[in-house]
Amino acid sequence: MSGAGPRPPRPGPPEWLSRPFFAAVTFACLLLALGICVRWFTVAPPQGRYEPAIQTFALVAAITGVFAERRAAARERRDQALVALADELVKNTEILYGEGFAPLDRHAPRARVYPRLVQSATDAALVSGVFWEAATADLPALLHDWRDAVHDFNRRLDLAELRTYVGLVPDEVLIAIDDALHREDGQLAELRRLRAVLERVLRERYGRQPGVAERLALLPARS
């Protein structure tokens, strides 16, 4: 209808109807049933204790299975994220130390298109939340720093290319842009430093893990 305005959004489920709530309800029910079976086993006559014993073992298996499944699923997601991060680290290392960022020839400078660093695995790892447990709580902070640095660096490359390709640019400007890129305290040096920190953390914590070890072995030794 032409006169009708936008429909108001439908109210979502209450905030308390979340996955932790349903998990708590599930465990509470299982534990309550287990308590009833244990009580049943203690008051049942000797010849009638087989059924409560079977029910008790079945409930213990169910509770153990739920815990084991959740831990196995969390570990599998973490392992997949680690392999993806190691793959991405190899690609970014090749980019950061490749010909794409080699210094310009000062005698014949020319505009060029720079390679871009990738960050999809970093984004996925941060969104998934697989590293927010106590043992790896510092890794998300490092990934956030790395992601922000990569995003800002790629954006600055866009601006540099736009400036050098829009019109005729003197050689002095091209050399100045290249000098700024390769400063000892510049963004390229900072990215290489962060990359080295991320590599060190992955090697120290997960360097022997299958899948991660093979990918980290592709990285050359760097300080």
Its pTM stands at 0.71
Token couple for 14: 């209450």
Express each pLDDT in 61-86 by its tens digit. 666 766 667 777 778 888 899 999 99
HSE (CB half, 13 Å, CA atoms) of 180?
10
| Alpha-carbon gap, residue 117 to 153, rounded angstroms | 8
Q: How far is CA 164 from CA 98, 99, 115, 121, 150, in A?
A: 21, 19, 15, 31, 21
pLDDT in tens, the chain (223 residues): 445 555 555 554 455 555 566 667 666 767 777 777 777 767 777 766 667 666 666 666 666 766 667 777 778 888 899 999 999 999 999 999 999 999 988 888 888 899 999 999 999 999 988 887 756 678 899 999 999 999 999 999 999 988 888 777 888 988 998 999 999 998 999 999 999 999 999 999 888 888 899 999 998 876 5
| Alpha-carbon gap, residue 31 to 66, rounded angstroms | 12
The C-alpha angle with vertex 115 and arms to 112 and 120, in degrees rounded to 5, equals 155
